[in-house]
Amino acid sequence: MVLHRCYEDITSEKHKQELISPKFSADYLLALINDVLLINKMDYQNLVLDKASFKQSRIIKNIKKSFEYVLTK
């Protein structure tokens, strides 16, 4: 993702703060699209769901930063 790469490359904290909300939105939209595609695929096939590990603290941190950014505007 372009936003993800930009976020990693930026050294200015101010610019990083400005990208938090769009990055969160892009990540959320991508997850939503993947979920819709998966549900659609499940309708046509017998798909078995696998367990996937994720860092809950990272997701919560991203959500918190997104709301903090919105509140400062």
Express each pLDDT in 27-41 by its tens digit: 888 889 988 888 887
Look at residue 3 and tell me whether its pLDDT is greater than 70. no
Predicted structure pTM score: 0.48
Residue in the block written with tokens 């969160």? 24
Question: Which residues are within 8 A (CB) of 23 and not within 5 positions of it... i.e. 6 or more apart?
Answer: 3, 4, 7, 62
Our separate counts of H helices and E strands in the chain read: 3, 0
Look at residue 63 and tell me whether its pLDDT is greater than 70. yes
> What phi, psi does 53 have (nearest 5°)?
-85, 150
Buried b / exposed e over 12-37, threshold 16 CB at 10 Å, is: eeeeeeebbbebbebbeeeeeeeeee
